[in-house]
Structure 1
């Protein structure tokens, strides 16, 4: 309790400040959603084939990579196994 029995509250001024901040936040959110909607629409108008191209590339069948044995039949089986199981070696640093 306050010893002088005076009640201290935010009052009308505090309410108006809080209400103003809430109003500004609402306008900013509305503006942001409007800008994002416009950006999506303009992106769809400028690049209409982007979605179709993406769908085609994900469903396309790719050729499997060729192995060492298919490239050079003269290499031995041990060389082929070593080349497929060993990690690549980086050159030494000077």
Structure 2
């Protein structure tokens, strides 16, 4: 038996797979018509962005919470770890 949680997790995974493969039109299918993205401290979503820090790749983590309406994703709250990201992309000081 598939639970609501299982269905919601599968929905999120399918959306992320579409984003990762570059199929943004399909990634929007599980979203409600009035989907609300909320990213704390960031002016635009970070999904799919590539950052370079002093010529090397960087990474960051985030906590993501979703609200569902029926079988659709209605809202996304993302709290990225901006401190670790900024530490990786900030210029180094030459006055040590």
* TM range, smaller chain: under 0.3
User: Which of structures 1 and 2 has the larger relative contact order (alpha carbons within 8 angstroms, sep 6+)?
Assistant: 2
More strand by share: 2
More helix by share: 1
Could you say which structure has the larger radius of gyration? 1
Q: Normalising by structure 2, report the TM-score.
A: 0.22
